[in-house]
Structure 1
Amino acid sequence: MPSLAITGSTGHLGGIVARAVADLGEEQTLVVRDASRAPQLAGAQVREASYRDGVASRGALDGAQTLFMVSASESVDRVDEHRSFIHAAAAAGVSHIVYTSFFGAHPEAVFTLARDHFATEQHIRDSGMEFTFLRNNFYMDFFALLAGEDGVIRGPAGSGRVSAVSRADLADAALAVLRDPTAHRGAVYELTGREALSLDDVAGVITEKTGREVTFHDETLPEAYESRAVYGAPDWQVDAWVSTYTAMAAGEQERITGDIRALTGHDPETLGEFLDSA
């Protein structure tokens, strides 16, 4: 059994990390819900388990020492899913969890899902296992796709700024931790880009780099809820969507740190550089 277990390999961030581990020639266990969707990587075992299934998770993690735990898909009971998986990891003998948390995780964060991440961090702290928290800011990859078909980015963000960061840079940081987990015991890294942009700025960069005219409309809160009501999503999900923007307006996502450079030895890319290479 490889000493490293990785979740989320069928997704974007976990998939990049798993492929990078394989490229280094390291063995790993990929814990996935559906084995047929797992990437085919040299030196990788595949085991099936969902975060909700404690028995299957314990079996899948048996023998692993370090666990790279990518947060579960958004759901109303995501914290309960995480708690179940954390308990299974401890029971399986995992000694160190590297968890993908969120920048500004706090029980009173404006961004509602940041509160879930803080609760998960506390469950990991209480588990007795060693930990490293990677508090990732909003994905730059997502910001490049914010505009609707009419070329307008809509949200109640005001002039708030966000230090968005690319998945590629976050994966580099995660890989640096996984290559020597003991050197990062107890560390909390706040991973950001190297610039803080308003959504007006984002629209301008996208326009310049792609040639598509993109603008930003600063919605009121009633407008934000009304424009998203058409999707028929539950209240908690709509609150999460809207608070993505209100957290920016509140200044929660603006701070820039040097943690990407400290971990990887290189600066994170700007939005312009990301769009140039996309």
Structure 2
Amino acid sequence: MIFVTGATGALNGATVDHLLQHLPASDLVVVARDVAKADRFARLGVEVRRGDYADPASLPAAYDGADQLLLVSSNDRTADTVELHRSAIDAAVAAGVGRVLYTSHQAAAPDNPFHPGEVHFATEQLLAGSGVPWTSLRYGFYAHSLQWLAGPWRETGVIAVPGDGPVSWTAREDAAEAAAAVLLSDGAHDGPVTLTAPAAPTFAEIADTASELVGRTITSRVLTEAEWLAAQAAAGVPEQMSGFLLGFYRAAQAGFFAGTDPLLGELLGREPRSATEALAAP
């Protein structure tokens, strides 16, 4: 039995959709904080159970009977996400889960300036110490984020960022499909596995791509952090959010998102979607 958390979200919801193309609904269980939001899976015959990382007592029963359990990483920036993940992993151990899979990131590292990278690293350490077989899906940075991390370049003609570096922009749709393939491989991938697009363009290179897309020159400019933060404040972006995003640009400039790996394409059986496709999306 394959259990999937976070299926009411875009990533793991798409993973369940892909699994349903290969398995009967009776082989799957969806675990959700709000079971009503998972109704579309229930209507397909998938069992839906309530489980909430913030309510540890709800988790052992929710995970009971899982041969494989896909844990989605928490994106709650108001909570101690590592502790939330600890609760989920402890419950998986208590429930006797056969293998735990976790949606991580290629830049999982204790010194990553982008805070989620620290969280992913700490969670992987918890998995490694759990005694349960585990797989960490280290996805490349989601390509749809380009729509806002590159800024309003269509209007301004400039991609203005506070730091530039290579990023292996990876389509969330491809990441979801690959997760399903890893789950269906039944343990063929152990420990950290890197799932990225085959290229890692810089924002300067993205500007060249943008120019080709719109048929006019789009330039790139690296601002000082102070200039960029001032522009964010003028645009009404909350200080906490701009500070969070600044960590991404620092990490990109330091090369944390530069790595690429052919495994994603191998799992998909085709070329992964490109940053160009993400940039062109309406």
1:231 to 209, 233, 237: 237
Which whole-Å CA distance do the structure 1 matches of 2:90 and 2:218 have between them? 46
Matches within 5 A, 1:218-257: 218-229=222-233, 230-234=236-240, 237-257=241-261
Q: Secondary structure of 1:164's match?
A: coil
Where does residue 133 of structure 1 map in the other structure? Answer: 136
Where does residue 104 of structure 2 map in the other structure? Answer: 101
How many residues align? The count is 272
CA distance change for structure 1 residues 153 and 88 in 2, over 3 Å: closer, same or farther? farther
How far residue 214 of structure 1 moved from its aligned partner, in angstroms, is: 5.3
Q: Which runs of 5+ in 2 are unaligned?
A: none
Q: Secondary structure of 2:20's match?
A: helix
Worse-matched range after superposition: 206-215 or 127-136:
206-215
- Deviations along 1:196-232, one digit per CA (max 9) or x if unpaired, are 2111222332443356975544221223333445433
CA distance change for structure 1 residues 173 and 209 in 2, over 3 Å: closer, same or farther? same
Which whole-Å CA distance do the structure 2 matches of 1:43 and 1:163 have between them? 37
- % identical aligned pairs: 34
Q: Secondary structure of 1:87's match?
A: helix
CA distance change for structure 1 residues 212 and 58 in 2, over 3 Å: closer, same or farther? farther
How far residue 233 of structure 1 moved from its aligned partner, in angstroms, is: 4.8
Matches within 5 A, 1:154-233: 154-158=160-164, 160-184=165-189, 186-209=190-213, 215-229=219-233, 230-233=236-239
CA distance change for structure 1 residues 243 and 57 in 2, over 3 Å: closer, same or farther? same
CA distance change for structure 1 residues 178 and 39 in 2, over 3 Å: closer, same or farther? farther
Q: Any conservation in 2 of the 1:103–1:135 contact (CA below 8 Å)?
A: yes
Q: Secondary structure of 2:188's match?
A: helix
RMSD: 2.3
Worse-matched range after superposition: 259-268 or 146-155:
146-155
Matches within 5 A, 1:1-278: 3-26=1-24, 27-41=27-41, 42-75=44-77, 76-149=79-152, 150-151=155-156, 152-158=158-164, 160-184=165-189, 186-209=190-213, 215-229=219-233, 230-234=236-240, 237-274=241-278
Q: Secondary structure of 1:40's match?
A: helix
How far residue 127 of structure 1 moved from its aligned partner, in angstroms, is: 1.1
TM-score normalised to structure 1 length: 0.88
- Deviations along 1:150-200, one digit per CA (max 9) or x if unpaired, are 445443223x1111110121112111111022222x232112111121112
Structure 2 residue identity aligned to 1:259: L
Q: Any conservation in 2 of the 1:22–1:43 contact (CA below 8 Å)?
A: no
How far residue 96 of structure 1 moved from its aligned partner, in angstroms, is: 0.6
TM-score normalised to structure 2 length: 0.87
